[in-house]
Amino acid sequence: MDKAHEAEIVHRDIKPENILIDNDGRVRILDFGLARMKGVSKLTKESSTLGTVKYMSPEQLRGEEVDHRTDIWSLGVVMYEMLTGEVPFKGEYEQAVVYSILNEDISYPSSIPTKF
């Protein structure tokens, strides 16, 4: 991810399914299908949502310009899920998840599982 960010490429869809640990233990980020270079105009309709909502940053959900920090947010959501077994923002429907990310505080777990 750092190499992509150095090249001013934002992945925009960091999620568990796009993270691979290879046989040598190196972490690889996959599926740059939604990636965009900083400063390059949008190729998608303004109203369309691209990415996996539960891992999207507030800026991404609001349709604002995003940079490397959006990927860091998404990675934080992935790490939270790895530690707790659930995502920090929940909702029965996609719009409820969007509302939760934009308006609610993260609920911190009372404990973290000792075994994975």
Structural domain count of the chain? 1
DSSP string, 48-75: ---S-GGG--HHHHTT----HHHHHHHH
DSSP for 91-105?
-SSHHHHHHHHHH-P
63 occurs within a structural domain:
yes
Q: What is the CATH number of the domain that holds 91?
A: 1.10.510.10
Q: Which residue has the higher pLDDT, 4 or 35?
A: 4
Residue 49 lies in a domain: yes
Beta partners for residue 27, in sequence order: 21
Among 2, 13, 24, 31, the active-site one is: 13
Is 114 a member of any domain? no
Residue 79 lies in a domain: yes
What is the per-residue pLDDT across 26-85, written as a single tens digit (0 to 9) for each?
Answer: 998 887 766 665 555 454 444 445 568 999 999 999 999 888 999 999 999 999 999 888
Residue 44's pLDDT is 44
pLDDT of residue 22: 93
What does pTM read for this prediction?
0.80
pLDDT of res. 49: 54
108 in any annotated domain: no
Residue 13 bears catalytic tag: yes
pLDDT digits (tens, 9 = 90+) for 94-105: 999 999 999 999
39 or 8: which leads in pLDDT: 8
Residue 96, domain extent: 2-103
Q: Do the domain assignments include residue 84? A: yes
